Every structure is written in structure tokens, then in C-alpha cells.
Structure 1
Amino acid sequence: MPLACAPFVPDGGEWADPKGVLMVLEVTSHDADTDRRDRKEKRDGYAAAGIPVHLLIDRESCTLTVHSDPEDGSYRDSPSLPDGASVTVPAPVDITLDTEPLKEFAR
């Protein structure tokens, strides 16, 4: 099944209904609050919203973390792999990504 992306623009405000969102892909910033915001707060917010998969590309640690199976505001599964690894993104997305090209963008 092809993976299609479409822009999502809420009607207003900073919060939108997550219904229908299958996955969020996040790339860490280089800001001072990256650990708190990108690695913890956003992850927890996506899990609380019931978003099935959160793929975090961490430029500092050169890893990819696939958070999945949200339950009670937390992801129950969160394997981390090094940049360049073949990453399986679970259902409902159900794809395998070759992340070798990401190595040139780390740090």
C-alpha cells in the first residue's frame, strides 16, 4: 500500500483533532530544550492523543526511535536503532525504511 502524505491545516488554534493521523515523524532540533521538548513532551503528547506511531530521528545521538502501541498516555514499544539501519515501522503504517541516507545529515 503506498504511503500518502497530505498537509493538515487545522481550522484554528494550535491544537487539532488527531483522528486519522497514523504517524508523526519528528526530527530533533538543536535547541537548548530539545531533550525535554522533542524527546519527552512531544512523545508523551502524541501517545496521549492515541497517534499509533511516532518516529523520532535524533540528530544528536544519530538514532531513530520508533514509538508505537500507545496505551494510557505512553508508548509501550520504543526500539531505537542507529542511523543507517533498516527500520520497520509497524501497523497501521507497516513500511520498512532504509535510513542509510540520513547518516550524511546527522549532527
Structure 2
Amino acid sequence: MTTETTLPLEVTTAAQRFGENVRLARVRRHMTQEELAQACGITRKTLYALEKGASGATVATAFTVLWKLGLLSTAAALADPDADEHGRILEAARRPKRVRNPLDSDNDF
């Protein structure tokens, strides 16, 4: 009996778009799958799966491929906390309404 995990459509679509972008970057550099895979230390089948948007590729593999293509800096925007509007709203809601200085009897201010 196997348990198949169904990913949300948004995740599947994003993985496929990522794979298409990787493939396009590779083709623009006139690299074969074999050349890029070898340069990244992965198999051609792994690179093929990544380019097809398969869910089994690891983050490390994806970042290694981006690094080899010279695109690792584009990954800096992934999960950027400054771009997380929802998280910032939640954080602001948890802030205290006012801040009091702790009473310290040793200070003569």
C-alpha cells in the first residue's frame, strides 16, 4: 500500500514554472542536461526531474543548479521576511500598546 501525497495546485504550478525557468537558463547557456548535471554533481535524471517540476528535488539541488547557472542571487527573494506582509501585520499586532520603563529604585534620575 502506497500513500501518495497530493500537493496543492499552487505548489505544483510554482515547481513547474521554476523547472521551466531553469531549463530556459540552461538552454540559453548552450548547456546540455548532461553537462549541467555533471557540473552540479547530480544525475541527468535528477536535473530532468527538476526541470519538469517534480516534487522530489531537494532545495540543495535546486540551489546548486541556480549557483552553477549564475542565478543563485535570484533565490535571495525566497521567503524574504521583509516581503512577508502578513507576518509583519501579525508581529505588529503582538507589540505592546505602550512601553513602560521598569521601576528601579537604585536609579536617581
- Is the shorter-chain TM-score for this pair beyond 0.5, marking a shared fold? no
Structure having the larger proportion of residues in helix:
2
Calculate the TM-score normalised by the size of structure 2: 0.27
Comparing both structures, which one devotes a greater share of its residues to strand? 1
Normalised to the residue count of structure 1, the TM-score between the two structures is 0.27
